[in-house]
Amino acid sequence: MQRHILKKKNHITIISGILIVIAYISKLGFGNINIFTWSLIISSAIGATPIAIQAYQSLKVKVVSIDVLVTIAVIGAFLISEFEESAIVTFLFLFGAYLEQRTLNKTRSAIKELTEMAPENALKQMENGEFEEIEVDEVDVGNILLVKTGAKVPVDGTVLTGEGHINEASITGESLPVSKNKDSQVYAGTILENGTIQIIANRVGEDTTFGKIIELIEEAQDSKSEAERFIDKFSKYYTPVVLVLAFIVWLFSQDIELAITILVLGCPGALVIGVPVSNVAGIGNGAKHGVLLKGSEVIGDFSKVNTIVFDKTGTLTIGNPKVTDKEIYADNVDEILSYLASVEKESDHPLAKSVVEYIGDTKAYAVEKTEVVKGGGIVAQVNGHRVAVGNVALIKQENVHLSEKTRADITKFEKNGNSLVLTSVDNELKVLMGIRDQIRPGVKENLQKLKKLGVKNLVVLSGDNQGTVDLVASELELTEAHGHMLPEDKSAYIKKLIDKGQIVAFVGDGVNDSPSLALAQIGIAMGNGTDVAIETSDVVLMNSDFSRLPHALGLTKSTAYNMRQNIIIAVGVVLVLLASVFFSEWMNMSIGMLIHEASILVVILNGMRLLRYKLK
């Protein structure tokens, strides 16, 4: 019976509201006080029933909840025949709860949408070789699964057969489909846009990358700052204290109306709900835009950041070096470039890859007597010629004569921030190439946005040579640039900044920057949602798009501001209500409940504004 009544709470709210309307029509329209009074009595009784059941259930588990306060207040109102008060209070309380549920659902919708991207079913290969649809929870590691066009990949796994293109936006933020074939890794929650593949499950359920992201977001929602923990503790004792206070007031004044008004006014709703609502809406907005914020403490700290330190490669630059400058000191250009490409194909050095990529399709020569010179390059026999490919040191070692012009070219290339690849054929310099990592598109504009958001220092730390780092810094208008830095040098430098009183965020790829990510007040992993990045950082930019960073900073600033607004609204309302009960004539139980419920809705609606946040 009790359960049935609780399940029909919304119907009860409507009936209670209709009875109140009937009561006022009969009084104001027809002057019928009898119908007015009885309608209010019935409305109170019907409305108070589910509240009283909840109060009883709360007391049974030793919790003095708001239902207890309202139930006592309604009983008190009944005792002094204030049926108008009791009916309006119960209706407002029920209707307020209904609206709270609706608006809170909206606030949490962003995160809900993300969790709904989780796969639910999988096609598993049975012992007879046929594929049958099962629930994703039933998939075990080692199972062979079939993924058809348009389906979600159910687990993290490896492609056994077939090929196709997968949209991995849910994991990496990259919206361009990625080609997959035998031995490619695939991730749960991604979508096979075309093709058909069979995969073997490597990680299932909560162990998948997607599962970890969801878990991280849910934990982030519940992680509390010190202020919130205080509010929680405070609210635990607050309600019983209000109950005692109301009793004391009644004891001394014998004024039941005053005592029950205090009970209603003392409900702590907006205060305990205001901060979590902002938090959830902020985290939800971030999740929707490829930004994972690990909780309200992180939001608070990140919003105060005034120094952002960047790793260079893969963060400010693409991490894919390209040939940007070249000089050729020969007439038989095609032949020389073919020699160079043939030698470079022997190497897996990143610079060699850039050279091969730059030269493209060309005649391939057999490469013989290959000799790798450590820290220098490669020397080999190609088509009967001695070909040396490497840096200036190797070329000097080969006794190659460098003319005035080539020396000037080398100086110019170095100034431009290039790494150099020189090629000599039979001890004559034939090719000089300058290779540079490219600045990520849009980085400069986004760094300007960070400055506008109040970041005073933008610092780049890199293992590369100082010239290269300086060039990147001047191109991007950074405030500081330091090269030749090992991971431990980077973290030492960050410590120095923190000791100076700066609030520092470090942005890296989350793989070799763990010490710096951990040391900075805010560690931001740019990247593709790898386990390491997710584990070690405070903020993960799932999207490799650099514009997520100013969005993340702007969002945390707005969220922190929104939390403060909600606390001010909540505390302000409580103070005004309590002051007015003692020092004004107009305050009563119904007005108190109306203001109380309105303040809860105001803080929820205020928090909801964050869902629509976009960096201007």
Partner 1 sequence: MQKATIQLETLTCPSCMQKIENGVKSLDGVDKESLSVSFNSSKVKLNFDDEKVSIKDIENTIDKLGYNVIKSQVKAL
Q: Which stretch binds partner 1 (CB under 8 A): 96-104, 140-148, 350-358, 546-554?
A: 96-104
CA distance 178 to 182: 13
Does 278 engage in binding with partner 1 (CB under 8 A)?
no
Token code pair at residue 298? 């992180």
Interaction residues for partner 1, span 112-141 (CB under 8 A) = 137
What DSSP line would sit under 571-583, residue for residue? Answer: HHHHHHHHHHHHH
What sections of 254-365 are H helices per DSSP?
256-265, 269-288, 296-303, 333-344, 350-359
Residue 153, Cβ density class (10 Å: 0-12 exposed, 13-18 middle, ≥19 buried): buried
Q: Give whichever of 66 and 608 is closer to partner 1, judged by the CB atom.
A: 66
Shortest reach from residue 103's CB to partner 1, in Å: 9
- Residue from 15, 41, 42, 63 touching partner 1 (CB under 8 A): that is 63
Assigned token pair, 348: 């897996």
Of the candidate residues 273, 291, 472, 577, the single one contacting partner 1 (CB under 8 A):
273
Where do we find the tokens 């202020």? 227
Nearer to partner 1, 108 or 294 (CB): 108
Cβ atoms of residues 551 and 292 within 8 Å: no
Total residues interacting with partner 1, rule: CB under 8 A: 37
Among 1, 29, 31, 61, binds partner 1 (CB under 8 A): 61
Among residues 105 and 438, whose Cβ is nearest to partner 1?
105
**Least CB distance from residue 240 to partner 1, whole Å?**
11
Nearer to partner 1, 273 or 485 (CB): 273
Give the C-alpha distances (Å, rounded to integers) separating 387 from 348, 391, 426: 18, 13, 6
Q: Which residue lies nearer to partner 1 by CB, 497 or 570?
A: 570
In the complex, the smallest distance separating the C-beta of residue 4 from partner 1, rounded to whole angstroms, is: 11
Q: Which of 311, 409, 437, 538 is catalytic?
A: 311
Q: Which helix (H) or strand (E) is 194 found in, with range?
A: strand 191-203
> Considering only residues 49, 71, 90, 221, which one is a binding residue for partner 1 as defined by CB under 8 A?
221
* Rg of the chain, C-alpha, whole Å: 34
CB of 576 to partner 1, least distance (A): 21
Nearer to partner 1, 106 or 412 (CB): 106
Q: Which of 10, 75, 100, 530 lies at the binding interface for partner 1 (CB under 8 A)? A: 100
Q: Which is nearer to partner 1, 338 or 599 (CB)?
A: 599
Please report how close the Cβ of residue 72 comes to partner 1 at its closest, in angstroms.
Answer: 15
- Cα(537)–Cα(518) distance, rounded to whole angstroms? 7
108, 166 contact by CB (below 8 A) = no
**What is the closest distance, in whole angstroms, from the C-beta atom of residue 217 to partner 1 in the complex?**
9
Helix axes 83-107, 9-24, angle to 10 degrees: 140
119-140: b (≥16 Cβ within 10 Å) or e: beebbbbeeeeeeeebebeebe
What's the closest the beta carbon of residue 170 comes to partner 1, in angstroms?
18
- The CA-based angle 334-374-359, given to 5 degrees, is 20
The residue range among 57-65, 258-266, 351-359, 532-540 that interacts with partner 1, by the rule CB under 8 A, is 57-65
67 is catalytic: no
2 counts as binding partner 1 under rule CB under 8 A: yes
Question: How many angstroms separate the CA atoms of 457 and 309, rounded?
Answer: 8
Give the integer Cα–Cα distance in Å for 603 and 277.
8
Could you give the string, one character per residue 230-259, with x where binding to partner 1 holds by CB under 8 A and - elsewhere? Answer: --x--xx--x--------------------
Phi, then psi, of 380 in degrees rounded to 5: -155, 165
- Give 325's strand partners: 434
- Nearer CB in complex with partner 1: 55/123: 55
Tokens of 191: 């979508």
Which of 48/191 has CB closer to partner 1?
A: 48
Among the listed ranges 162-170, 175-183, 186-194, 218-226, the one in contact with partner 1 (CB under 8 A) is 218-226
Question: What sign does the dihedral 522-523-526-528 (CA atoms) show?
Answer: negative
Q: Which two structure tokens, joined as six digits, stand for 554?
A: 């702007």
Which strands, in side-by-side order, build the sheet including 367-373? 322-328, 428-436, 419-425, 385-390, 377-382, 367-373
Residue with tokens 């057969």: 161
Q: Which residues pair with 481 in a beta bridge?
A: 460
| Termini Cα distance of the chain | 54
Nearer to partner 1, 256 or 611 (CB): 611
Asked if 603 interacts with partner 1 (CB under 8 A), we say: no
**Whole-number Cα distances in Å, 69 to 92, 363, 577:** 14, 87, 16
Q: How far is the CB of 98 from partner 1 (least distance, A)?
A: 9
In the numeric block, which tokens belong to residue 346?
């022997």
Least Å distance, CB 68 to partner 1, is 9
- 276 touches partner 1 (CB under 8 A): yes
Min dist CB 364 to partner 1, Å, is: 56
What x-and-dash track marks residues 445-484 binding partner 1 by CB under 8 A?
A: ----------------------------------------
Q: Can you read off the two tokens belonging to residue 124?
A: 């598993």
Per rule CB under 8 A, is residue 109 in the interface with partner 1?
Answer: no
Catalytic center residues: 311
Q: Which residues bind partner 1 (CB under 8 A)?
A: 2-3, 6-7, 50, 53-54, 57-58, 60-63, 65-66, 97, 100-101, 104-105, 108, 111, 137, 205, 218, 221-222, 232, 235-236, 239, 269, 272-273, 276, 279-280
